[in-house]
Amino acid sequence: MRLRGFTLIELMIVITIIAIISAIAIPNLLESKKSANETAVISSLRTISASQEIYCSRFGTYATLDLMSAEGFVDEMLGIGAKHGYTFNVPTADDIQWVCTAVPNVPGQTGHRGFRVDNSGVIRFTSDGTSPTSTSPALDE
């Protein structure tokens, strides 16, 4: 009895089908990852905002990310300013106000939007991944 394998044509058809499916699926997966990063960043900004208020009620002043991390208010990754493909920054904080920005490490690849939150608790964004200002549109919640 002679065993028959796949012909070259059959293998080429299977490879073509796999390539077509990959061409459709991979971009969708990458967009899903960017969307997940942005959702996680928004959650982290809410955590930072709540932690700032708790920190201020305890110590009488707002804090930078490294200080909040050292006191256990945020995790170490936020404390060093890198999480979810974004760079977080609290450049200054005093007893009156604070601002935290989060911008994608690679705009368009790790996320599309840049985010900002301050002592008002309102999260603002830009669509191009740059750092938002106090007049940027507020995030619809």
Domain presence at residue 131: no
Domain presence at residue 135: no
pTM, to two decimals: 0.82
Domain presence at residue 54: yes
Q: Whole-angstrom Cα distance, residue 114 to residue 15? A: 40
Q: Whole-angstrom Cα distance, residue 45 to residue 96? A: 19
Buried/exposed 66-80: b ≥16 CB within 10 Å, e otherwise: ebbbeeebbeeebbe
Domain presence at residue 133: no
| 9-28 pLDDT tens trace | 989 999 999 999 988 888 88
| 102-128 pLDDT tens trace | 999 999 999 999 999 999 999 999 999
Q: Which residues contact 118 (CB under 8 A, 6 or more apart)?
A: 97, 98, 99, 100, 134
Q: Could you give the number of structural domains in the chain?
A: 1
Residue 36: domain span: 8-126
